[in-house]
Chains A and B, each alone.
Chain A
Amino acid sequence: MDLSAINPVLLVASLMVAATPILLAAIGELVVEKAGVLNLGVEGMMIVGAIAGFATAVETGSPLFGFLISAFAGAALSLLFVIMTQVALANQVASGLALTLFGLGLSALMGQSYVGIKPPQLGQIHLPVLSDLPVVGQILFSHDIILYFGIALTAAVWAVLKYTRVGLILRAVGENHDAAHALGYKVVRIRILAILFGGACAGLGGAYISLIRVPQWTEGMTAGVGWIALALVVFASWKPWRALLGAYLFGGVTVVQLNLQAAGVAIPVEYLAMSPYLITILVLVMLSADKSSAPAALGRIFHASR
């Protein structure tokens, strides 16, 4: 075992990379849940985003275009969830599961000819002075643009939910859809937009895994990140900044266990690989006593009878 092989600066830098897909998916799902909809299809939308983005980047040679398409792919898949839950009024839990099962199959089908290919790389940004700073520069100012987009998105979602009229309406729909309907807000329309936003975010998160984090395509490569993102929303008590914190926590666990594997710690690899999932459970247990911050109409079906 050689722990000195672990470079703390690289560790923190890769922690941020590992956290970004979880963060993107979680922020999207947070908005969806704030609107009172529980979409358990995050894993499915992520993996479809992962292959759509990967394939586009390989075919066009442009990773950024790949990310754009991945967002569209995630949103397109979430459109299925929209039809199920907002038009056909189906059970949200079952529909979300269906979305995940379908997405996993669809991505495997789409990705057949992309196994073992290396995608084009998205360059890291380089700021004249900041990126050259000794430690801070490498940790904070030498990443790809999507990572910063994730943080900016967190800030934007926080600001919109807290300070704008749109945010207020979204929260009203999530807290009490009947009251919001009575006030004349288009409950279904607002929820559809929220679901599409969540799908786009999940797609981006998936593409971040296949284009930057790994970067490669393998079947089922999201390996539960979508589900961890769902847990993260609970962990964050539906607050964007806490989602960021949680994403970094999970990113940290992932990166540390990978580093320990590489360093050859005496713990078997399989037990290290379990740790992110076990910690997710642990965190859920610690935080689930307080349900007061959950949107009151979460998961309930809205049907305007009058």
Chain B
Amino acid sequence: MIRLEKRPQPSRAWSLATPLVAVLATMLFGGVLFAVLGKDPVEAIRTIFWEPLFGEFAFYYRPQLLVKGAPLVLIAIGLSLGFRAGIWNIGAEGQYIIGALTGAGVGLAFYPMEAFYIFPLMVLAGALGGWAWAMIPAILKTRFGTNEILVSLMLVYVAEQLLASMSLGLLKNPEGFGFPGSRNLQQYDSAHNAELIAGTGMHWGVVAALIAVIFAYVLLNRHMLGFQIRLTGEAPRAAKFAGVNPPRLILFCLGISGALAGLAGLFEVAGPAGQVSIDFNVGYGFTAIIVAFLGRLHPVGILLAGGLMALTYIGGDIAQGNLGLPAAAIQVFQGMLLFFLLALDLLTNYRIAIGKPEAA
């Protein structure tokens, strides 16, 4: 008979191999899904994973990889810190929206003045907005013991309503002929998060994402707080004896993930998106959860995972245009990836043994 034996230590080899195996398994089952939808599976997989990188129009798609990957990495880095400590912020989508609103709000308040300090102020406002939105579940948890999963998620719906209200009201473009949505920040030089090197897709959000990766790596490996985060996740009781202050950890983890999500929102609204509009958010906050797990909650892993996820977004768009693959199919594909990843994690912590257990 087949049974599971707990490994004394998590297997390092499997820990590195599971994301790769999960991606392969997802390709396989995703191919089956595409075949069921009546598309050529090989062609679909090739379109998603090959076309954006090496296809005919790769010069156009490659910069998109940075544009789509940056917010995912930025948010996922923040989430991974909390996830490691068992603090579940799943409302990053809401913090992303609020960061975009506060950041864009500050920028629009200065319109049409041109000054060098406007964009830095917007960045600050975006981070603060996301931070403040994440502080709501954090303080409710430390004060009243309220479940942060439910509160942070409820706040996503609240933020979506706020976004609708703002793009129809306060932040609406007064010269927009009554259409919903704010002024376009791309046409406002001081507030525009422009490409740093033209044609590369490299904007301030990409820089921020790279800094966040380095920051998280140093924090987790070289800093007391990072040690406490890891300890709390792996051995909560030991953490208590080691003098970890749980409320402080909750405030820190939720705060930092909120601030990073807010930043991602600001960079998006001031750059690629350009304006606050009702359908401004596209689910980066939720996809970032997949990115965080795919990267095994490790900063470098998240960087790679963010790139891969961005690839599926772009490839999905191409497949939608070329093959008529529905947009939802890519969503299913991404969900599948998370499933395989979590399920295969079994092999990291357990060994599959065949035969009868020895008498204990």
Contacts and interface: CB of A to CB of B under 8 A. Distances in A.
Interface string A75-112: 00000100110001111011101100111111011001
Contact of B161 (A93, A97, A103, A270): A270
B146 A288 contact: yes
B345 A88 contact: yes
Interface string B314-341: 0000000000001111111111101100
A106 B334 CA distance: 11
A225 to B, nearest CB: 11
A93 B140 contact: no
Contacts of A114: none
A101 B335 contact: yes
A303 B158 CA distance: 39
Contacts of A129: none
A289 B144 contact: yes
A101 B344 CA distance: 18
Contacts of B276: none
A contact face: mostly helix, strand, loop, or mixed: helix
Contact of B6 (A95, A108, A303): A303
Contact of B153 (A91, A106, A109, A224): A224
A149 B267 CA distance: 50
B157 interface: yes
B28 interface: no
A76 to B, nearest CB: 14
Contact of A285 (B144, B161, B350): B144
Contacts of B342: 84, 88, 90-91, 94-95, 98
Interface stretch (B66-74, B124-132, B191-199, B286-294): B286-294
Given A97-B289, A101-B289, A288-B144, A90 B4 contact: no
A261 to B, nearest CB: 12
Contacts of A270: 161-162, 164-165, 168
A263 interface: no
Contacts of A109: 37, 326, 328-329, 331-332
Nearest to A108: B328
Nearest to A280: B154
Given A80-B339, A291-B145, A90 B157 contact: no
A284 B4 contact: no
Interface residues on B, range: 35 or more
Contacts of A281: 136, 140, 146, 150-151, 154-155
Contacts of A15: none
Interface residues on A, range: 35 or more
A217 B346 CA distance: 38
Contact of B286 (A101, A273, A305): A101
A44 B285 CA distance: 17
A288 B161 contact: no
A95 B343 CA distance: 9
A40 interface: yes
Contacts of B333: 105
Interface of B: 4, 6, 37, 88, 90, 136, 140, 144-147, 149-151, 153-158, 161-162, 164-165, 168-169, 286, 289-290, 293, 326-336, 338-339, 342-346, 349-350, 360
14 contacts: A84-B342, A88-B346, A90-B343, A98-B335, A98-B342, A102-B339, A219-B328, A224-B157, A227-B153, A231-B154, A270-B164, A281-B150, A284-B151, A305-B6
